[in-house]
Structure 1
Amino acid sequence: MIRRTIDLTPGARDGFDAIIDVRSPAEFALDHLPGAVNLPVLDDAQRAAVGTEYVQGSKFLARRTGAALVARNIAAHLEGALVDRDGSFQPLVYCWRGGQRSGAMVTVMDQIGWPATVLDGGYQTWRRQVAAALYDTPLPHRLVLLDGPTGSGKTALLTALAARGVQSLDLEALAAHRGSLFGALPGGQPSQKAFETRLYDALSRLDPARPVVVEAESSRIGARVLPPSLWAAMAVAPVIEIDAPVEARVAWTVATYGGMAADPAALDRALSRMPRHHARATLAEWRAMAARGDIPSLVRDLLTAHYDPAYGRTGAGRDRPVIGRIALSAHTPDDLDRAAAGAGRLLEGSPLDGTAPPA
């Protein structure tokens, strides 16, 4: 008998040997369940052709043609990606709505003897759960923000806290972007839906009863937008502020963004998108620094003349309790470990109930 489920909690998903998405590659690329593998029963061109025939031609011919294509593709998967699976293989299979495509795959699996399960409602069941959690209901997690000017080492400190067992949420890693004009990473960003899937999956694995440390961000990371429930929770979250001298911030930024110097054309394109309120002469000088490879001087100027004033302006409009402040004189592993220990003590000493002890 074919099993069906709508339980997509982390524990339930982790209980399957594989999560198989049988939709087309284009559908899969836009978004998919975490950890899913794509074994399409119709590829993009086949799906388009069958759909066109169904709408504009003969429904009977569309079904017959589709059935033949699906049978061949399932056979190819059985002889390819699934060839080494033994009789105990227990996959979760889904398509767009949990209908014909996943039904075809699971019917064959059931005949083989594999105890396969269909996701009832397909990908749309997953998407409804993601949207409900990130758009429709308040976030249950107790967030604490790491805040500080650009180059102060927020992401590095977040990583050090995670290594100490502190619950953390790395939004820049989930969005595949460092969150600044120069923050693009190789491979580009996930789609908005895929970013939200990553975010929902990460949040669902965190204990809402324990603090979750997250880097203070704007409402947009690159081209990805923070969903309303998360943004609302961040807007009222208490803060741990990081303070680092300019020299340390310059050195850390140069090291972190080392790839900038390796691609002068990309760096120049980024500088050309700087806000128009900077004087033309200033922008020209920054582009000249980039062209001659004087990255430390460029970084210093950008920090002091662009990022620090912007940080000051946004900070003036924030009204969040400050749990405490952490000083980072440098960003060596020992410095970051000491800062993480200090931040951990601040978290342990704060009730996180909207008040904070004196900084």
Structure 2
Amino acid sequence: MFEEMKPEELYKRKAHQQHTIVDVRSPKEFHQSTIPGSLNIPVFTDEERSEVGTIYKQVGPEAAKERGLAIFSNKLPGFIAAFQKINTPITVFCWRGGMRSKTAATVVDLMGIKNVTRLTGGIRAYREWTVSLLDEFDFRPELIVLNGGTGNGKTMILEKLRKEGYPVINLEEMAGHRGSIFGQIGLEPKNQRAFDFQLLEKLLEYQNEPFVFLEGESKRIGKVTLPERLYRKKEASRQLFIELPMEKRVANILEDYQPWKYPEKFKEAFQLIKRHIHTPVAKEIEQCLESGEFAVAVELLLMHYYDPRYEHSSDYPENRQTLVQAKSVEDAIERIKREML
């Protein structure tokens, strides 16, 4: 018979040995958020889950169980075959540690696949454990916070530093949002649950590093919010302010956002800030977006909207600020490295 495993035990096991976590929820649930590193071997498709749920509400739990078992029995060979391809210990989970994970663990165990456990309380319990830990987590490394107006290549710098092996926490990547009014265009914003799972994994991974790089974000990024304790540490940490030439900033924004792929979405988003820009300038930006002169539109947005707002938002003690003036992203990285030595 399979054993139960608590969230903290699961994390320790997957962090220190080969271990496979299997999410048996539907593909849609898996896509919305899952425990990082999980595989999806669903008991039901999205449509099947909806059907069983409807029966549960309209007829009752017994009828729902009967229909669920009928559906699952037809796909049993393929379900077992998927598990047989895994050659490590396995932990299965569903939403609340209910029938889906219990059925999956029982069947897999009966078919002779050993070292199978079930996550007690499902992903809901794992989420509660995550939030509790984030609320009280004492992150030891020094934070090196990259600041700078829009287009100064902060995210690009982080990614290049990460590729070179430096510890980096990319909050925008985790949030699926760039943090501006145009920030979610071309991306898929994450919900709080998915963000928290990824954030905790990184904090635990880097807990013994001397320092970690991250970007100077506000407390809210798109749909998600930073834990209060981490946000306060970020605000009290060393702040590097990146300054690149205007033409480089415009080029960085165009490379990142690629507005020609989503012209209508950019025009829609601009309407949300239009009233904050002097009318003649706003009209010129609108015309540029309409005609595809995106470089001109971006430069006007920087000069008349983003830069003035950023100047009012940067207020840190001088002893924690370091200005990094550079000619390019690559130059900024070299200057940051020298600053860290």
* TM-score normalized with structure 1 length: 0.83
Tell me the residue number matched to 1:95: 94
Tell me the residue number matched to 1:303: 302
Conservation of the 8 A alpha-carbon contact between 2:139 and 2:207: no
Tell me the residue number matched to 1:252: 252
Give per-residue Cα distances to partners, 1:330-350, cap 9 Å, x unaligned. Answer: 23xxxx1x43233234334xx
The aligned amino acid for 1:326 is: V
Give per-residue Cα distances to partners, 1:283-310, cap 9 Å, x unaligned. Answer: 1111112222222222221111111111
The aligned amino acid for 1:119 is: L
CA apart distance, 1:181: 2.0
Tell me the residue number matched to 2:31: 29
User: Does the residue aligned with 1:146 lie in a helix, a strand or coil?
Assistant: strand
Tell me the residue number matched to 1:355: none
Tell me the residue number matched to 2:3: 3
Tell me the residue number matched to 1:352: none
How many residues are paired up? 338
Give per-residue Cα distances to partners, 1:121-169, cap 9 Å, x unaligned. Answer: 2112310122113334444443220111211111122123223322111
Describe the shift of the 1:119–1:38 C-alpha distance in structure 2 as closer, same or farther (beyond 3 A).
same
Match of 2:325 among 317, 324, 327: 327
Structure 1 runs not aligned, ≥5 long = 349-359
- Larger deviation, residues 270-279 vs 121-130: 270-279
Q: Following TM superposition, where does structure 1 have runs of at least 4 consecutive aligned residues deviating by more than 6 angstroms? A: none
- Larger deviation, residues 178-187 vs 288-297: 178-187
The aligned amino acid for 2:262 is: D
Describe the shift of the 1:47–1:254 C-alpha distance in structure 2 as closer, same or farther (beyond 3 A).
closer
Tell me the residue number matched to 1:166: 166
The aligned amino acid for 1:255 is: E
CA apart distance, 1:180: 1.6
Conservation of the 8 A alpha-carbon contact between 1:8 and 1:126: no
Tell me the residue number matched to 2:22: 20
Describe the shift of the 1:113–1:260 C-alpha distance in structure 2 as closer, same or farther (beyond 3 A).
same
User: Does the residue aligned with 1:276 lie in a helix, a strand or coil?
Assistant: helix
| Cα distance between partner residues in 1 of 2:170 and 2:76 | 38
User: Does the residue aligned with 1:300 lie in a helix, a strand or coil?
Assistant: helix
Please give the root-mean-square deviation of Cα atoms over the aligned residues, in Å. Answer: 2.6
Conservation of the 8 A alpha-carbon contact between 1:166 and 1:344: no
User: Does the residue aligned with 2:92 lie in a helix, a strand or coil?
Assistant: strand
Matched, 1:344 2:337: yes
Q: What aligned pairs does 1:2-151 form with structure 2 within 5 A after superposition?
A: 2-6=2-6, 7-9=9-11, 12=14, 15-51=17-53, 53-54=55-56, 57-79=59-81, 81-82=82-83, 85=85, 88-115=87-114, 116-151=116-151
Conservation of the 8 A alpha-carbon contact between 2:83 and 2:108: no
CA apart distance, 1:208: 4.0
Percent of aligned positions that are identical: 30
Conservation of the 8 A alpha-carbon contact between 1:40 and 1:73: no
Conservation of the 8 A alpha-carbon contact between 1:92 and 1:117: yes
Describe the shift of the 1:4–1:345 C-alpha distance in structure 2 as closer, same or farther (beyond 3 A).
farther
| Cα distance between partner residues in 1 of 2:60 and 2:107 | 26
Conservation of the 8 A alpha-carbon contact between 1:144 and 1:240: yes
| Cα distance between partner residues in 2 of 1:128 and 1:225 | 16
The aligned amino acid for 1:224 is: V
User: Does the residue aligned with 2:218 lie in a helix, a strand or coil?
Assistant: coil
CA apart distance, 1:36: 1.6
Tell me the residue number matched to 1:153: 153
Conservation of the 8 A alpha-carbon contact between 1:102 and 1:118: yes
Conservation of the 8 A alpha-carbon contact between 2:185 and 2:265: no
Conservation of the 8 A alpha-carbon contact between 1:236 and 1:320: no
| Cα distance between partner residues in 1 of 2:185 and 2:265 | 12
Conservation of the 8 A alpha-carbon contact between 1:150 and 1:307: yes
CA apart distance, 1:278: 1.7
Tell me the residue number matched to 2:314: 315
CA apart distance, 1:17: 5.0
CA apart distance, 1:51: 4.5
Tell me the residue number matched to 1:357: none
* TM-score normalized with structure 2 length: 0.87
Structure 2 runs not aligned, ≥5 long = none
User: Does the residue aligned with 2:128 lie in a helix, a strand or coil?
Assistant: helix
Describe the shift of the 1:320–1:235 C-alpha distance in structure 2 as closer, same or farther (beyond 3 A).
farther
